[in-house]
């Protein structure tokens, strides 16, 4: 992912710098999982237009890379979810790539989908809703996020590869 210049200095692509700035891992996360997550992030980030990257960076506080309990569905582990915090109104994403269970294209799509929610500011809209309103908004928000991901030329694979 990194390149070496004539002075033997490592040069990281801008997308890797953004990945390292935003992805957070637990201490027990293996280097293989970290590298996989950085690689997936970079591939997605490089497909997102600059204008949308700027919106995401303005509204994204961090991406936590571990499975956590879904706040809307008790006793359910969430592997992807975009949310926001009050009073900062900044978004954060729960995203855990499945290195063994799912194919790379599905991981690309799942991260792109969560970044689309951030770009469209769905988490901030959700903060202003009751739980019932948010549950109703969820389907509309998913459709909008999927449409945004499609504009970025990232498709949900039908063949799971």
User: What b/e readout covers 15-53, taking b as 16+ CB neighbours within 10 angstroms?
Assistant: bbebbeebbebeeeeeeebeebbbbbbbbbbebbeeebb
Q: For all residues of the chain together, what is the average pLDDT?
A: 79
Domain range enclosing 60: 12-151
Instruction: Please give the tally of structural domains in the chain.
Output: 1
In a domain, 136, yes or no: yes
In a domain, 113, yes or no: yes
Q: Which residue has the higher pLDDT, 79 or 125?
A: 125
The predicted-structure confidence for 47-89, as pLDDT tens digits, reads as follows: 999 999 999 999 888 887 876 665 656 665 555 666 766 566 7
Position 131 scores a pLDDT of 81
101: which 2 tokens? 């269970």
Does the predicted TM-score (pTM) go above 0.75? yes
In a domain, 38, yes or no: yes
In a domain, 40, yes or no: yes
């Amino acid at each position: 992912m990194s390149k070496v210049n004539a002075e033997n200095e490592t040069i990281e692509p801008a997308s890797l710098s953004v990945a390292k700035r935003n992805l957070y891992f637990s201490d027990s996360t293996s280097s293989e999982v970290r590298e996989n997550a950085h690689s997936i992030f970079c591939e997605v980030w490089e497909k997102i237009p600059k204008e949308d990257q700027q919106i995401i960076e303005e509204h994204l506080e961090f991406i936590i890379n571990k499975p956590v309990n879904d706040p809307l569905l008790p006793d359910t582990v969430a592997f992807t979810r975009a949310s926001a915090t009050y009073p900062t109104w900044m978004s954060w994403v729960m995203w855990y790539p499945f290195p063994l269970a799912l194919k790379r294209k599905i991981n690309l799509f799942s991260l792109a989908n969560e970044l689309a929610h951030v770009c469209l500011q769905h988490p901030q809209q959700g903060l202003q809703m009751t739980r019932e309103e948010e549950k109703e908004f969820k389907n509309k928000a998913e459709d909008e996020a999927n449409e945004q991901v499609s504009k970025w030329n990232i498709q949900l694979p039908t063949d799971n590869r």
